[in-house]
DNA sequence: TGGAATGTTCGGCT
DNA sequence: AAGCCGAACATTCC
Protein backbone atom coordinates (compact mmCIF):
# COMPACT_ATOMS: atom_id res chain seq x y z
CA UNK A 1 0.00 0.00 0.00
CA UNK A 2 2.25 2.75 1.10
CA UNK A 3 4.76 4.19 -1.28
CA UNK A 4 6.05 7.75 -1.42
CA UNK A 5 2.71 9.50 -2.11
CA UNK A 6 0.87 7.53 0.59
CA UNK A 7 3.63 8.05 3.18
CA UNK A 8 3.69 11.74 2.28
CA UNK A 9 -0.08 11.98 2.71
CA UNK A 10 0.00 10.17 6.04
CA UNK A 11 2.80 12.41 7.33
CA UNK A 12 1.00 15.57 6.17
CA UNK A 13 -2.31 14.60 7.74
CA UNK A 14 -0.74 13.40 10.97
CA UNK A 15 1.58 16.38 11.46
CA UNK A 16 -0.97 19.01 12.59
CA UNK A 17 -2.30 16.65 15.26
CA UNK A 18 1.02 15.60 16.78
CA UNK A 19 3.69 18.22 16.25
CA UNK A 20 4.57 19.93 19.52
CA UNK A 21 3.05 17.18 21.68
CA UNK A 22 5.02 15.04 24.11
CA UNK A 23 5.33 11.28 23.95
CA UNK A 24 4.04 9.39 26.94
CA UNK A 25 4.84 5.82 25.88
CA UNK A 26 4.59 3.32 23.06
CA UNK A 27 2.51 0.22 23.68
CA UNK A 28 3.31 -2.72 21.44
CA UNK A 29 0.39 -5.08 21.02
CA UNK A 30 2.41 -7.28 18.63
CA UNK A 31 6.06 -7.86 19.56
CA UNK A 32 7.25 -8.04 15.97
CA UNK A 33 6.05 -4.48 15.36
CA UNK A 34 9.07 -3.32 17.38
CA UNK A 35 12.19 -3.10 15.24
CA UNK A 36 15.15 -3.23 17.62
CA UNK A 37 15.42 -1.61 21.03
CA UNK A 38 13.61 1.66 21.71
CA UNK A 39 14.69 3.80 24.67
CA UNK A 40 12.20 5.23 27.12
CA UNK A 41 10.69 8.17 25.34
CA UNK A 42 8.47 9.50 28.11
CA UNK A 43 8.43 13.29 28.02
CA UNK A 44 10.21 13.60 24.67
CA UNK A 45 8.81 16.38 22.55
CA UNK A 46 7.58 15.48 19.06
CA UNK A 47 9.14 18.20 17.00
CA UNK A 48 8.16 17.24 13.48
CA UNK A 49 6.33 14.57 11.51
CA UNK A 50 7.54 13.99 7.99
CA UNK A 51 8.13 11.45 5.28
CA UNK A 52 11.50 9.81 4.63
CA UNK A 53 11.31 7.74 1.46
CA UNK A 54 8.26 5.55 2.08
CA UNK A 55 8.65 5.73 5.86
CA UNK A 56 7.07 8.17 8.28
CA UNK A 57 9.53 9.82 10.66
CA UNK A 58 8.50 11.21 14.03
CA UNK A 59 11.30 13.59 14.89
CA UNK A 60 11.69 13.81 18.66
CA UNK A 61 14.05 15.99 20.63
CA UNK A 62 15.64 12.75 21.84
CA UNK A 63 15.94 10.87 18.54
CA UNK A 64 13.80 9.55 15.75
CA UNK A 65 10.93 7.12 15.54
CA UNK A 66 10.91 5.59 12.07
CA UNK A 67 7.71 3.88 10.99
CA UNK A 68 8.05 1.41 8.13
CA UNK A 69 4.56 0.83 6.80
CA UNK A 70 5.46 -2.37 4.98
CA UNK A 71 2.71 -3.69 2.76
CA UNK A 72 -0.40 -2.91 4.80
CA UNK A 73 0.65 -0.50 7.54
CA UNK A 74 -1.31 2.61 8.48
CA UNK A 75 -1.06 5.37 11.08
CA UNK A 76 -4.25 6.90 12.39
CA UNK A 77 -4.78 9.88 14.64
CA UNK A 78 -6.88 8.75 17.62
CA UNK A 79 -7.68 5.48 15.82
CA UNK A 80 -9.72 2.90 17.66
CA UNK A 81 -7.89 -0.31 18.50
CA UNK A 82 -8.90 -3.30 16.39
CA UNK A 83 -7.70 -6.80 15.56
CA UNK A 84 -4.81 -5.46 13.46
CA UNK A 85 -3.61 -2.71 15.78
CA UNK A 86 0.05 -3.53 16.41
CA UNK A 87 1.14 -0.52 18.46
CA UNK A 88 -0.21 2.64 20.05
CA UNK A 89 1.92 5.75 20.49
CA UNK A 90 0.38 7.60 23.41
CA UNK A 91 0.95 11.35 23.59
CA UNK A 92 0.27 13.83 26.38
CA UNK A 93 -2.92 14.56 24.52
CA UNK A 94 -4.31 11.95 22.11
CA UNK A 95 -2.63 8.94 20.51
CA UNK A 96 -1.52 7.41 17.21
CA UNK A 97 -2.50 3.85 16.29
CA UNK A 98 -0.30 1.70 14.08
CA UNK A 99 -2.38 -0.92 12.26
CA UNK A 100 -0.79 -3.50 10.00
CA UNK A 101 -2.63 -6.57 8.69
CA UNK A 102 0.34 -8.46 7.23
CA UNK A 103 2.86 -7.33 9.83
CA UNK A 104 5.59 -6.49 7.39
CA UNK A 105 5.77 -3.02 8.89
CA UNK A 106 7.53 -1.99 12.10
CA UNK A 107 8.49 0.92 14.33
CA UNK A 108 12.15 1.51 15.10
CA UNK A 109 14.27 4.09 16.85
CA UNK A 110 17.43 5.77 15.54
CA UNK A 111 19.52 8.68 16.81
CA UNK A 112 19.59 10.18 13.31
CA UNK A 113 18.25 9.74 9.78
CA UNK A 114 19.37 6.55 8.00
CA UNK A 115 22.43 6.77 5.84
CA UNK A 116 21.67 3.82 3.58
CA UNK A 117 18.82 5.37 1.58
CA UNK A 118 19.29 6.91 -1.83
CA UNK A 119 18.15 10.45 -2.66
CA UNK A 120 14.49 11.46 -2.59
CA UNK A 121 13.00 11.46 -6.11
CA UNK A 122 11.50 14.92 -5.51
CA UNK A 123 14.74 16.40 -4.23
CA UNK A 124 17.47 15.26 -6.58
CA UNK A 125 18.26 17.18 -9.76
CA UNK A 126 17.86 15.89 -13.28
CA UNK A 127 21.63 15.98 -13.81
CA UNK A 128 22.22 13.91 -10.67
CA UNK A 129 19.52 11.41 -11.69
CA UNK A 130 21.01 10.97 -15.13
CA UNK A 131 24.50 10.51 -13.72
CA UNK A 132 23.29 7.84 -11.29
CA UNK A 133 21.47 5.98 -14.07
CA UNK A 134 24.50 6.04 -16.32
CA UNK A 135 26.56 4.20 -13.72
CA UNK A 136 24.19 1.21 -13.49
CA UNK A 137 23.56 -1.76 -15.74
CA UNK A 138 20.58 -3.19 -13.83
CA UNK A 139 17.15 -3.30 -15.41
CA UNK A 140 15.41 0.00 -14.88
CA UNK A 141 12.39 -1.41 -13.03
CA UNK A 142 14.62 -3.21 -10.50
CA UNK A 143 16.62 -0.04 -10.00
CA UNK A 144 13.55 2.13 -9.40
CA UNK A 145 12.48 -0.29 -6.65
CA UNK A 146 15.91 -0.25 -4.97
CA UNK A 147 15.66 2.09 -1.97
CA UNK A 148 19.44 2.56 -1.94
CA UNK A 149 19.22 3.98 -5.46
CA UNK A 150 16.17 6.20 -4.89
CA UNK A 151 14.02 6.31 -1.80
CA UNK A 152 10.27 6.16 -2.02
CA UNK A 153 9.22 4.36 -5.20
CA UNK A 154 7.36 1.05 -4.95
CA UNK A 155 5.74 -1.37 -7.35
CA UNK A 156 2.69 0.69 -8.32
CA UNK A 157 4.48 3.94 -9.05
CA UNK A 158 7.46 2.26 -10.74
CA UNK A 159 5.05 0.71 -13.27
CA UNK A 160 3.03 3.90 -13.71
CA UNK A 161 6.14 6.02 -14.17
CA UNK A 162 7.71 3.68 -16.74
CA UNK A 163 4.47 3.64 -18.70
CA UNK A 164 4.17 7.43 -18.61
CA UNK A 165 7.77 7.70 -19.81
CA UNK A 166 7.25 4.96 -22.47
CA UNK A 167 10.25 3.00 -21.22
CA UNK A 168 10.40 -0.81 -21.16
CA UNK A 169 10.82 -2.16 -17.60
CA UNK A 170 13.65 -4.47 -18.68
CA UNK A 171 15.74 -1.74 -20.30
CA UNK A 172 19.22 -1.58 -18.74
CA UNK A 173 19.54 1.73 -16.88
CA UNK A 174 22.63 2.90 -18.68
CA UNK A 175 21.12 2.12 -22.08
CA UNK A 176 18.53 4.87 -21.73
CA UNK A 177 20.63 7.77 -22.94
CA UNK A 178 20.08 11.37 -21.94
CA UNK A 179 16.81 11.92 -23.77
CA UNK A 180 14.94 9.00 -22.26
CA UNK A 181 16.61 9.52 -18.87
CA UNK A 182 15.41 13.11 -18.87
CA UNK A 183 11.91 12.03 -19.82
CA UNK A 184 11.95 9.45 -17.04
CA UNK A 185 13.01 12.10 -14.52
CA UNK A 186 10.24 14.49 -15.55
CA UNK A 187 7.50 11.86 -15.65
CA UNK A 188 8.64 10.49 -12.29
CA UNK A 189 8.15 13.89 -10.68
CA UNK A 190 4.92 14.52 -12.51
CA UNK A 191 3.35 11.19 -11.52
CA UNK A 192 4.47 11.53 -7.88
CA UNK A 193 3.25 15.10 -7.58
CA UNK A 194 -0.13 14.26 -9.07
CA UNK A 195 -0.42 11.22 -6.80
CA UNK A 196 0.34 13.33 -3.72
CA UNK A 197 -2.22 15.91 -4.85
CA UNK A 198 -4.76 13.08 -5.09
CA UNK A 199 -3.92 11.87 -1.57
CA UNK A 200 -2.24 8.66 -2.79
CA UNK A 201 -3.69 5.45 -4.22
CA UNK A 202 -6.24 3.47 -2.23
CA UNK A 203 -6.21 0.02 -3.76
CA UNK A 204 -7.25 -2.07 -0.80
CA UNK A 205 -7.33 -0.43 2.57
CA UNK A 206 -5.01 2.57 2.54
CA UNK A 207 -6.31 5.66 4.31
CA UNK A 208 -4.55 8.76 5.64
CA UNK A 209 -4.14 9.67 9.31
CA UNK A 210 -7.68 11.06 9.37
CA UNK A 211 -9.14 7.96 7.75
CA UNK A 212 -9.64 9.41 4.28
CA UNK A 213 -8.85 7.32 1.20
CA UNK A 214 -6.80 8.62 -1.73
CA UNK A 215 -8.06 8.77 -5.29
CA UNK A 216 -5.02 8.31 -7.50
CA UNK A 217 -5.96 4.70 -8.24
CA UNK A 218 -8.49 6.16 -10.70
CA UNK A 219 -5.61 7.43 -12.77
CA UNK A 220 -3.60 4.20 -12.86
CA UNK A 221 -2.88 3.38 -16.49
CA UNK A 222 -1.21 -0.04 -16.21
CA UNK A 223 -0.93 -1.25 -12.61
CA UNK A 224 -3.39 -4.08 -11.99
CA UNK A 225 -4.67 -3.82 -15.57
CA UNK A 226 -3.05 -6.88 -17.18
CA UNK A 227 -5.11 -8.11 -20.13
CA UNK A 228 -7.02 -4.83 -20.41
CA UNK A 229 -6.51 -2.30 -23.15
CA UNK A 230 -3.79 0.33 -23.10
CA UNK A 231 -5.29 3.79 -22.63
CA UNK A 232 -2.73 5.22 -25.05
CA UNK A 233 -2.63 2.80 -27.98
CA UNK A 234 -5.47 0.35 -27.40
CA UNK A 235 -3.07 -2.61 -27.26
CA UNK A 236 -3.11 -5.15 -24.44
CA UNK A 237 -1.40 -4.51 -21.12
CA UNK A 238 1.08 -7.28 -20.33
CA UNK A 239 2.23 -8.66 -17.01
CA UNK A 240 5.71 -10.07 -16.45
CA UNK A 241 7.81 -10.60 -13.32
CA UNK A 242 10.78 -8.33 -12.70
CA UNK A 243 12.74 -8.24 -9.43
CA UNK A 244 10.18 -10.75 -8.10
CA UNK A 245 7.36 -8.26 -8.54
CA UNK A 246 4.41 -8.26 -10.88
CA UNK A 247 5.22 -5.75 -13.61
CA UNK A 248 2.55 -4.21 -15.79
CA UNK A 249 3.34 -2.46 -19.05
CA UNK A 250 2.25 -1.91 -22.64
CA UNK A 251 4.57 -3.77 -25.02
CA UNK A 252 3.54 -1.49 -27.87
CA UNK A 253 4.09 1.83 -26.10
CA UNK A 254 7.12 0.70 -24.10
CA UNK A 255 9.46 -0.74 -26.72
CA UNK A 256 12.59 -2.61 -25.91
C1' DT B 1 -6.42 -25.17 -3.30
C1' DG B 2 -3.00 -22.11 -5.08
C1' DG B 3 -1.40 -17.80 -6.22
C1' DA B 4 -0.93 -13.05 -5.75
C1' DA B 5 -0.81 -8.76 -3.04
C1' DT B 6 1.50 -1.43 -2.04
C1' DG B 7 7.90 -4.54 1.05
C1' DT B 8 12.34 -5.87 2.95
C1' DT B 9 16.18 -8.86 3.89
C1' DC B 10 19.27 -12.68 3.69
C1' DG B 11 21.86 -16.26 1.50
C1' DG B 12 23.70 -18.11 -2.58
C1' DC B 13 25.07 -18.11 -7.35
C1' DT B 14 27.35 -16.11 -11.52
C1' DA C 1 31.46 -5.95 -7.17
C1' DA C 2 27.06 -5.96 -9.22
C1' DG C 3 23.12 -8.13 -10.38
C1' DC C 4 19.79 -11.61 -9.99
C1' DC C 5 17.04 -15.23 -7.90
C1' DG C 6 14.51 -17.82 -4.31
C1' DA C 7 12.86 -17.96 0.14
C1' DA C 8 11.02 -16.12 4.24
C1' DC C 9 8.09 -13.17 6.99
C1' DA C 10 1.96 -12.92 8.01
C1' DT C 11 -2.61 -12.32 6.35
C1' DT C 12 -6.34 -11.74 3.18
C1' DC C 13 -8.70 -12.29 -0.99
C1' DC C 14 -10.15 -14.43 -5.20
With a cut of 80, say whether residue A1 has pLDDT above it: no
Say how far A217 CA is from C12 C1', in Å. Answer: 20
Residues 177-206/A with CB < 7 A to strand B: 201, 203-206
Dihedral of the alpha carbons of A136, A140, A141, A142, in degrees to the nearest 10: -20
The verdict on whether A112 is a catalytic residue reads no
Spatial separation of the C-alpha atoms in residues A114 and A65, rounded to whole Å: 11
Q: What percent of chain A has pLDDT over 90?
A: 98
Cβ atoms A156, A3 nearer than 8 A: yes
Q: Is the pLDDT of residue A78 over 80?
A: yes
Q: How far apart are CA A125 and CA A160, in angstroms?
A: 21
Write down the domain spans for chain A.
Answer: 4-110, 126-249
Outline where DSSP puts E strands in chain A.
Answer: 23-28, 34-35, 46-52, 55-60, 63-68, 73-77, 85-91, 95-100, 106-110, 238-242, 245-249
Pick out residues 74-103 of chain A having their CB under 7 A from any atom of nucleic acid strand B. 102
Give residue-wise pLDDT tens across range A3-40.
Answer: 999 999 999 999 999 999 999 999 999 999 999 999 99
Catalytic residue among A54, A68, A76, A86: A54
Q: For the whole model, what pTM was predicted?
A: 0.97
Round to a whole number and report the distance in Å from the CA of A154 to the C1' of B14.
27
* Distance in angstroms: CA A2, C1' B7: 9
Q: Are A52 and A113 in contact (CB under 8 A)?
A: yes
**Which nucleotide lies closest to A145 by the C1' atom and the CA atom?**
B7
For chain C, which bases have at least one atom within 7 A of a protein Cβ?
Answer: 2-12
CATH superfamily of A4-110: MutM-like, N-terminal (3.20.190.10)
Residue A205 has pLDDT above 90, yes or no: no
Annotated catalytic residue: which of A180, A245, A251, A252?
A245
A3 is catalytic: yes
How far, in Å, CA of A22 to CA of A42, rounded? 8
CATH number, span A126-249: 1.10.8.50
Whether nucleic acid strand B comes within 7 Å of the CB of A147, the answer is yes
> Which pLDDT tens digit goes with each residue over A85-140?
999 999 999 999 999 999 999 999 999 999 999 999 999 999 999 999 999 999 99
Q: Within chain A, what is the greatest distance between any pair of CA atoms?
A: 59
Strand B nucleotides, any atom under 7 Å from protein beta carbons: they are: 4-9
Is the minimum distance from the CB of A2 to strand B below 7 Å? yes
Banded pLDDT at A204 (limits 50, 70, 90): confident
Helices (H), chain A: 4-18, 126-134, 140-145, 155-164, 177-197
Q: Mean pLDDT over all residues of chain A?
A: 97
Amino acid sequence: MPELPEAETIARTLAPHVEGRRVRLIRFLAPRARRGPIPLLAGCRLRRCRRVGKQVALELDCGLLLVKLGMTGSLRWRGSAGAYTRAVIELDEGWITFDDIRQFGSIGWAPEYPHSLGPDPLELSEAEFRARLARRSARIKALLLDQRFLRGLGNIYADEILFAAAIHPLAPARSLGSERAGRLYRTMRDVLERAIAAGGSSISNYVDADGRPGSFQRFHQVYGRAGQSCPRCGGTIARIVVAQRGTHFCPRCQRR
